[in-house]
């Protein structure tokens, strides 16, 4: 509870008292001057007139001094904080001295006054004292002293006078003094209360101001805190946003290349298709697959492979907006080209492919890399994102098989061919069970004796009344993993048929896919085929292509060594079309080199360099040679003259069914 000051003492001197006294002083001084002037100049006192005027002059001068003091207070002290004692005492002295002058004035001229003058003087002095009862009431000592000096001497003088009317006026003066003291006392109490209330008010105002200031301060603090909270919130929001973005980026980006991963790309691609649909616009999707990436990984290690992928991604970014490229997986990338038609997509695809193939030096290695690209266009080829990617992928896949390194746009014919492939793959799955496979045999003739030396077993597949070429179904079987079963079936069939051949000098040459060789069951399959058919192992030749040199050489060396240990002959088929390793050729001790048909066909045009080189090499390695695809006697004559050991081709016989072969053989001998 706030403590307020008690009512000031009767005689209290404080700034409020001084203020009340000085605020009315000019009126008081003016009334004093007018009153004293009226008495001085309104009544002629004869000889005493001059003295009277001198006293008037003293009162005038003194009144002027008090007026100056009051003016000083008004101009300098009012509304400031000052020590109240000095101005109060100046005022006190001024008032009391004025009262004394009045009293002296009244007493001095009492005897020379007429009754009227005396009565007038008494009335004026009473009026002055009466006025003082309120004007000087702020200080009780002052008001009582003033009233007493003003009224008591004159009243007592009048009471002691010999005239009755003077006595009466004297008593009236005393009575007036008494009532005036009472009035002054009440006025003083009232003023003190007023001061007290003013103080309380001031205190309250001060308190209010303080509280207002406190509220303002707290408000400011709140504002500051709010501001700081806002700032913290903002930076927190920013941080959350940044982290969300980072998480989004990490979960949407492929860490190696910084491109979108497959999921993020598909989401974005679907959105782009919606945009294209709304704007009635085209867009193209490019499916990019690197050529030769596996070799880089195998030859230079995964770090080099990673560096290649990262720099391919960098190259690709140059051809589209940052959110239009993605890594589909492995060495596959996807690009979206908004607004692009076929020509634009082809041009950009070519340029992107060009910049990928120009990458030559990566992670301290000189690398050769290519890319095959398939393109699909929205809305021409499909309106569905997943289908568009699938079509671009199919186109790339088709191009890769038919013409690697090409940039091509999807077409119905690609779709038909791939559909056909799917149909065949499906058919291939049941081909053995449905007895759709056959084996035909093509004789291989000894160049010197012109007699049959061996036969090559070639698989045939009759699917829905249609003969499917091994050039078509063998790669499909390799891709779908069915080559193991098909190869094993052909091997068994060939061994059985050959074992039943009337002449036990005839050998059979069976084509073996490198995937079969890599299979850990392969040797067991061969043993089983030989064992169950009863064919002497040396009558079995296995043909492998040069592609084995690109695969896991440790396994392949093991397999070939195991086969050689069983006296099975090993032939390198289509020699000269792939990449052979000379050191491995020597180490693995092959028995036969089969010169590919393409070189045989060139021989009549005088292009015999490869055949000569092959013969030379075979001689050095101690291998026999077989020339394939001989169609004319001229080709046969040249090859024979060059020293080829064996000849094979339509000139002698086409691949024949077992019975037809037997007939052919019988006819020959
Ligand atoms: P290849 O092993 O080089 O077989 C020779 C191919 O040349 C055979 O084609 C044969 O019919 C053909 N040919 C033979 N002489 C001539 C000729 O004078 N002129 C022409 N134009 N062609 C001739 P085919 O039977 O279509 O076999 C193609 C390829 O399919 C084979 O090439 C072989 O790599 C593969 N293949 C066939 N059967 C099998 C098999 O059972 N297993 C595996 N892994 N591959 C097989
Ligand atoms: Mg062959
Ligand atoms: Mg061949």
CA angle 399, 484, 598 (to 5 degrees): 50
Q: Is 117 in the pocket of ligand 1 (CB under 6 A)?
A: no
Q: List, in sequence order, every residue forming a beta bridge with 572; answer none if it has no partner.
A: 544, 593
> Is 135 within the bounds of a domain?
yes
**Which pLDDT value is given to residue 18?**
86
Q: Is 474 in the pocket of ligand 1 (CB under 6 A)?
A: yes
Band (1; pLDDT cuts 50, 70, 90) = very low
Reported as a single tens digit per residue, the pLDDT across 526-570 is: 999 999 999 999 999 999 988 777 767 888 889 999 999 999 999
How many structural domains comprise the chain? Answer: 4
Q: Is 443 in the pocket of ligand 1 (CB under 6 A)?
A: no
pLDDT (average), residues 381-388: 95
Cα 512 to ligand 2 centroid, rounded to whole Å: 8
The ligand that comes nearest to the alpha carbon of residue 656 is 1
Which structure tokens are listed for 460? 């045939």
Whether residue 89 sits in one domain with residue 22: yes
Atom 24, ligand 1: which residue's CA is nearest? 470
Band (443; pLDDT cuts 50, 70, 90) = very high
Residue carrying the six token digits 């063998």: 474
What CATH number is associated with residue 498?
3.20.20.450
**Which pLDDT value is given to residue 7?**
60
Cα 641 to ligand 3 centroid, rounded to whole Å: 21
Atom 3, ligand 1: which residue's CA is nearest? 574
Whether residue 452 sits in one domain with residue 388: no
**Which pLDDT value is given to residue 4?**
46
Whether residue 464 sits in one domain with residue 576: yes
- Residue 360 pLDDT more than 80? no
Band (145; pLDDT cuts 50, 70, 90) = very high
Whether residue 468 sits in one domain with residue 356: no
Atom 33, ligand 1: which residue's CA is nearest? 511
Q: Is 629 in the pocket of ligand 1 (CB under 6 A)?
A: yes
**Which residue range forms the structural domain that includes residue 241?**
226-253
Nearest residue to 59 (alpha-carbon basis) of 18, 31, 87 = 31
Q: Is 467 in the pocket of ligand 1 (CB under 6 A)?
A: no
Mutate to test the pocket of ligand 1, among 444, 445, 458 (most ligand atoms within 8 A of CB): 458
d(CA 130, CA 134) in angstroms, rounded, equals 7
Cβ(309)–Cβ(356) under 8 Å? no
> Is 211 within the bounds of a domain?
no
Atom 20, ligand 1: which residue's CA is nearest? 629
Band (8; pLDDT cuts 50, 70, 90) = low
Q: Is 596 in the pocket of ligand 1 (CB under 6 A)?
A: no
> Is 214 within the bounds of a domain?
no
> Is 174 within the bounds of a domain?
yes
Give the DSSP H/E element, type plus range, for residue 13: none
82 burial (CB, 10 Å; 0-12 / 13-18 / 19+) is: middle
Cα 507 to ligand 1 centroid, rounded to whole Å: 17
Q: Is 84 in the pocket of ligand 1 (CB under 6 A)?
A: no
- List CB contacts of 390: < 8 A, sequence separation 6 or more: none
Q: Is 470 in the pocket of ligand 1 (CB under 6 A)?
A: yes
Looking at the chain, the whole-number percentage of residues with pLDDT higher than 70 is: 97
**Which pLDDT value is given to residue 235?**
82
* 382 phi, psi to nearest 5 deg: -170, 160
Nearest residue to 297 (alpha-carbon basis) of 287, 288, 314, 309 = 309
**Orientation angle between helical segments 15-23 and 164-252, nearest 10 degrees:** 120
Whether residue 387 sits in one domain with residue 368: yes
- Residue 66 pLDDT more than 50? yes
d(CA 593, CA 591) in angstroms, rounded, equals 7
**Which pLDDT value is given to residue 22?**
87
DSSP assignment of 14-54 equals -HHHHHHHHHTHHHHHHHHHHHHHHHHHHS--GGGHHHHHH
Which structure tokens are listed for 400? 């890769």
> Is 427 within the bounds of a domain?
no
Whether residue 445 sits in one domain with residue 406: no
> Is 339 within the bounds of a domain?
yes
Whether residue 238 sits in one domain with residue 268: no
> Is 423 within the bounds of a domain?
no
What CATH number is associated with residue 281?
3.30.70.270
Whether residue 562 sits in one domain with residue 445: yes
Which structure tokens are listed for 57? 């002059």
Atom 13, ligand 1: which residue's CA is nearest? 629
Whether residue 664 sits in one domain with residue 530: yes
Domain end: 184, 201, 218, which one?
A: 201
Cα 443 to ligand 1 centroid, rounded to whole Å: 12
Whether residue 36 sits in one domain with residue 179: yes
Cα 644 to ligand 3 centroid, rounded to whole Å: 15
Cα 260 to ligand 1 centroid, rounded to whole Å: 45
Whether residue 125 sits in one domain with residue 32: yes
Give the DSSP H/E element, type plus range, for residue 80: none
Q: Is 469 in the pocket of ligand 1 (CB under 6 A)?
A: yes
Atom 8, ligand 1: which residue's CA is nearest? 458
553 burial (CB, 10 Å; 0-12 / 13-18 / 19+) is: middle
Whether residue 194 sits in one domain with residue 173: yes
Q: Is 478 in the pocket of ligand 1 (CB under 6 A)?
A: no
Reported as a single tens digit per residue, the pLDDT across 289-316 is: 999 898 888 888 888 889 999 999 999 9
d(CA 575, CA 544) in angstroms, rounded, equals 10
> Is 86 within the bounds of a domain?
yes
């Amino acid at each position: 509870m706030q403590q307020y000051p008690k009512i000031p003492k009767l005689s209290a001197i404080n700034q409020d008292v001084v203020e009340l006294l000085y605020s009315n002083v000019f009126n008081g001084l003016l009334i004093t001057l007018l009153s004293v002037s009226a008495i001085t100049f309104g009544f002629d006192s004869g000889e005493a007139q001059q003295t009277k005027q001198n006293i008037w002059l003293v009162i005038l001068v003194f009144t002027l001094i008090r007026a100056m003091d009051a003016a000083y207070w008004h101009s300098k002290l009012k509304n400031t904080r000052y020590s109240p004692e000095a101005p109060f005492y100046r005022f006190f002295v001024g008032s009391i001295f004025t009262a004394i002058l009045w009293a002296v004035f009244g007493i001095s001229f009492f005897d020379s006054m007429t009754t009227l003058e005396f009565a007038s003087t008494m009335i004026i002095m009473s009026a002055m004292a009466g006025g003082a009862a309120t004007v000087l009431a702020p200080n009780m000592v002052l008001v009582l002293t003033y009233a007493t000096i003003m009224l008591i001497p004159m009243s007592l003088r009048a009471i002691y006078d010999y005239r009755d009317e003077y006595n009466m006026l004297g008593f009236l003066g005393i009575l007036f003094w008494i009532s005036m003291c009472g009035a002054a006392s009440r006025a003083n109490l009232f003023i003190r209360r007023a001061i007290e209330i003013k103080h309380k008010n001031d205190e309250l105002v001060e308190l209010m101001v303080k509280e207002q200031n406190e509220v303002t301060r707290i408000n400011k603090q709140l504002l500051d805190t709010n501001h700081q909270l806002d700032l913290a919130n903002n930076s927190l929001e920013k941080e959350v946003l940044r982290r969300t973005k980072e998480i989004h980026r990490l979960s949407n980006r492929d860490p190696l290349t910084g491109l979108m991963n497959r999921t993020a790309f598909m989401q974005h691609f679907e959105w782009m298709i919606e945009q294209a649909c709304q704007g009635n616009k085209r867009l193209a999707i490019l499916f990019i697959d690197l050529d030769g990436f596996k070799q880089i990984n195998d030859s230079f290690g995964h770090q080099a492979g990673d560096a290649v992928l990262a720099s391919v991604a960098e190259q690709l970014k140059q051809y589209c907006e940052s959110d239009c490229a993605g890594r589909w997986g492995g060495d596959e990338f996807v690009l979206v080209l908004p607004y692009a038609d076929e020509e634009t997509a082809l041009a950009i695809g070519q340029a992107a492919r060009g910049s990928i193939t120009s990458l030559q030096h990566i992670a301290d290695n000189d690398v050769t890399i290519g890319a095959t690209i398939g393109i699909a266009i929205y809305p021409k080829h499909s309106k569905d994102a997943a289908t568009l990617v699938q079509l671009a992928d199919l186109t790339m896949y088709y191009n890769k098989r038919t013409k690697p390194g090409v940039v091509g746009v999807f077409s119905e014919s690609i779709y038909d061919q791939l559909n056909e492939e799917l149909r065949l793959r499906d058919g291939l799955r049941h081909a053995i069970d449905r007895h759709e496979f056959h084996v035909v045999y093509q004789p291989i003739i000894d160049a010197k004796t012109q007699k049959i030396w061996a036969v090559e077993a070639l698989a045939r597949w009759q699917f829905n009344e249609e003969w499917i070429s091994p050039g078509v179904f063998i790669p499909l079987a390799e891709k779908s993993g069915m080559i193991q079963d098909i190869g094993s079936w052909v091997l068994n069939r060939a061994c059985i048929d050959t074992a039943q051949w009337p002449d036990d000098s005839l050998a059979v040459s069976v084509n073996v896919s490198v995937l079969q060789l890599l299979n850990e069951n392969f040797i067991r399959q061969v043993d089983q085929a030989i064992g169950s058919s009863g064919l002497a192992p040396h009558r079995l030749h296995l043909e492998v292509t040069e592609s084995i040199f690109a695969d896991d050489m440790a396994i392949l060396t093991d397999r070939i060594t195991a086969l050689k240990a069983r006296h099975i002959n090993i032939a390198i088929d289509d020699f000269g079309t792939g990449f052979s390793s000379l050191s491995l050729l020597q180490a693995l001790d092959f028995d036969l080199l089969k010169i590919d048909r393409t070189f045989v066909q060139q021989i009549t045009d005088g292009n015999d360099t490869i055949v000569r080189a092959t013969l030379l090499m075979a001689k050095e390695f101690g291998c026999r040679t077989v020339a394939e695809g001989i169609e004319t006697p001229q080709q046969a004559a040249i090859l024979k003259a060059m020293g080829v050991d064996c000849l094979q081709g339509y000139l002698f016989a086409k691949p024949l069914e077992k019975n037809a072969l037997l007939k052919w053989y019988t006819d020959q001998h």
